[in-house]
Amino acid sequence: MTSRSGRTASRRLNISLPEETVRLLERVAAKGKRSHIIAEAVTRYVTDIGKARLRKLMKERARKHGDLDLRIAEEWFPIDQEAWDDKGK
């Protein structure tokens, strides 16, 4: 969400993190930059989860409908081949 001034709108949250996570955050981000690092990490995590779900759904669909897809391809292959052969003449 972007404000009228063109800057991204922010909300303050009160969160608790494990001490080890805080130490890691302090190693990679100076004070004043931590929110940016956390926001980037959350965005990347959600994006990766979304991609993983999509891959899983695609695999399930392929397993479920693979036989049908193969039959359709086998039925249409001769027609496609004929069309390509005609273009080469």
Which tokens sit at 22? 């805080």
Put simply, whether the predicted model's pTM sits higher than 0.75 gets the answer: no
At residue 36, the pLDDT reads 92
At residue 63, the pLDDT reads 87
Enumerate the domain spans of the chain: 19-87
Q: In whole angstroms, how far apart are CA 73 and each of 28, 66, 81?
A: 52, 10, 11
d(CA 30, CA 79): 64
Tens digit of pLDDT at every position of the chain (89 positions): 555 656 678 899 999 999 999 999 999 998 889 999 999 999 999 999 999 999 999 899 888 888 888 888 888 888 888 888 877 66
